[in-house]
């Protein structure tokens, strides 16, 4: 256990002496500036706890092999991970697996394979791909389905606080209940950023009161995996999954939240709504970091467009 912490802070670096089990270790933290999406500028990086960095990066939806766009994302955050550790920081790095999602369910229906087998196989190939790229392992790889109880607790709290409402087809977050939180990462109106939503925003339908609202809990459909809840059997929405996992690992606030540029809206904006309205603490993350795309002929590489190469395709060549 740590017993002593001494800090000197000249303008050009940070020196920290840690005494652990009677042994003093001296670290020199070189200055770091990052482009923070929320602030929309490069800023000096400082941690919430001296010498320690808490970092959450959104992981893959494990319905297929990873492509070069995924490689770019996890190489980018691997560089940050390595730089922080080489500079003497103690990094607690969490990267999740989205192991229940519309795409996984569709793949299961199309192939006739159990969704859990699809998930397990693609998680195994994910690690093979990351190892082939010499990417350091994160400290934790939580699966969304391990946190459904936490998600239900958060959703229930949001309903009690009138930030969410129950509809015939599930539970929705009421965006207009916290208008001051909207647009922190995009700085734009919802209509301006809707095209970058990655196909996961429904304009109308179901029990939505407003097109801006998003699903926290989805009512059960025939043939889909379901969990019991106060609102009937169903499954969690996409956004609430990362909120539950990050809160479980780090609490109401942590240093870095990362992911691909396309996750700014709706996913990361939704996380801000959910987490900050649930905990009453802001900001959720000290710094929001987003990597760019791999483009092919001017278009984002993606499975939906069919213009992709998998990591294993390239490695095998």
The mean pLDDT of the chain is 88
* Tens-digit pLDDT profile for residues 76-134: 999 999 999 999 999 999 999 999 999 999 999 999 999 999 999 999 999 999 999 99
Q: At what angle do helices 238-250 and 269-279 cross, to 10 degrees?
A: 50
Average pLDDT over residues 276-287: 98
Q: How large is the average pLDDT for residues 242-252? A: 98
Alpha helix (H) ranges present in 176-264? 190-193, 238-250
66 exposure class (CB count in 10 Å sphere: 0-12, 13-18, 19+): buried
Instruction: Identify the structural domains of the chain with CATH numbers, from first to last.
Output: 1-31 (no CATH), 32-316 (3.40.50.620)
Predicted pLDDT of residue 24: 52
> pLDDT at position 27, please?
55
User: What's this model's pTM, rounded to 2 decimal places?
Assistant: 0.86
**What does the pLDDT read at residue 204?**
53
pLDDT value for 1: 34
Sign of the Cα pseudo-torsion (304, 101, 109, 203, in order): negative
* Span 172-226, pLDDT tens digits: 999 999 988 888 998 876 655 455 444 445 545 678 999 889 999 999 999 899 9
pLDDT at residue 4, as a whole number? 35
pLDDT surpasses 70 at 7: no
Confidence of residue 295 (pLDDT cuts 50, 70, 90): confident
Burial call 4-38: b when 16+ CB within 10 Å, e when fewer: eeeeeeeeeebebebeeeeeeeeeebeeeebebbb
């Amino acid at each position: 256990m740590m017993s002593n912490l001494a800090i000197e802070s000249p303008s050009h670096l940070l020196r920290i002496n840690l005494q652990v089990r009677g042994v003093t270790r001296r670290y020199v933290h070189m200055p770091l500036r990052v482009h923070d999406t929320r602030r929309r500028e490069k800023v000096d990086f400082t941690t919430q706890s001296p010498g320690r960095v808490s970092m959450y990066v959104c992981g893959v939806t494990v319905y297929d092999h990873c492509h070069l766009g995924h490689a770019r994302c996890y190489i980018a955050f691997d560089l940050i991970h390595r730089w922080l550790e080489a500079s003497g920081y103690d990094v607690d790095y969490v990267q999740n697996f989205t192991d229940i999602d519309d795409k996984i369910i569709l793949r299961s229906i199309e192939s006739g394979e159990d969704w859990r087998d699809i998930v397990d196989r693609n998680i195994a190939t994910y690690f093979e791909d990351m190892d082939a790229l010499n990417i350091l392992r994160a400290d934790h790889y939580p699966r969304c389905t391990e946190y459904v109880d936490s998600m239900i607790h958060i959703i229930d709290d949001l309903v009690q606080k009138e930030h969410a409402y129950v509809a015939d087809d599930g539970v929705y977050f009421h965006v207009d209940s916290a208008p001051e939180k909207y647009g922190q990462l995009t700085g734009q109106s919802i209509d301006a950023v809707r095209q970058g939503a990655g196909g996961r925003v429904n304009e109308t339908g179901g029990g939505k009161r407003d097109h801006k609202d998003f699903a926290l809990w989805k009512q059960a459909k025939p043939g889909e995996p379901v969990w019991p809840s106060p609102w009937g059997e169903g499954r969690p929405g996409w956004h609430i999954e990362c909120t539950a996992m990050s809160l479980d690992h780090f609490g109401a606030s942590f240093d870095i939240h990362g992911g691909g540029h396309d996750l700014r809206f709706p996913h990361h904006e939704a996380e801000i709504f959910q987490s900050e309205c649930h905990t009453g603490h802001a900001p959720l993350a000290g710094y929001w970091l987003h990597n760019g795309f791999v483009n092919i002929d001017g278009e984002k590489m993606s499975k939906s467009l069919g213009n992709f190469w998998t990591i294993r395709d390239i490695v095998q060549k």
